[in-house]
Amino acid sequence: MDYLGHETVIEFALPTAGQAILKVFDITGREVATLVDEQLTAGNHRAQFDGSRLASGVYFCSLRTASQSLTRKMVLLK
């Protein structure tokens, strides 16, 4: 679990090049942000998440590629 202030950087690595989609969802499953939706090269990447418009609480960060799907829980504290 990651603890977030109003803004944070989400880092992720891709083993191969391809389409990557990185989204943030609230506890009810509603999408609150799309951080990445594009072709990316293999390697390390970073995406900025600004939670200043959102309420404090639990959120989920989901990364989808052709070969993997990964979701992590985050806590937004204000």
pLDDT tens digits for 47-74? 999 998 999 999 999 999 999 999 999 9
pLDDT tens digits for 29-49? 999 999 999 999 999 999 999
**In this structure, what CATH number is given to the domain that contains residue 58?**
2.60.40.1930
pLDDT at 74: 93
Show the 3-state SS of 53-78.
CCCCEEEEEEEEECCCEEEEEEEECC
Report how far residue 30's alpha carbon sits from residue 59's, in angstroms, rounded to the nearest whole number.
Answer: 10
Please count the structural domains in the chain.
1
pLDDT at 2: 53
Segments forming the whole domain that contains residue 38: 2-76
Q: What phi and psi, each to the nearest 5 degrees, are found at residue 42?
A: -65, 145
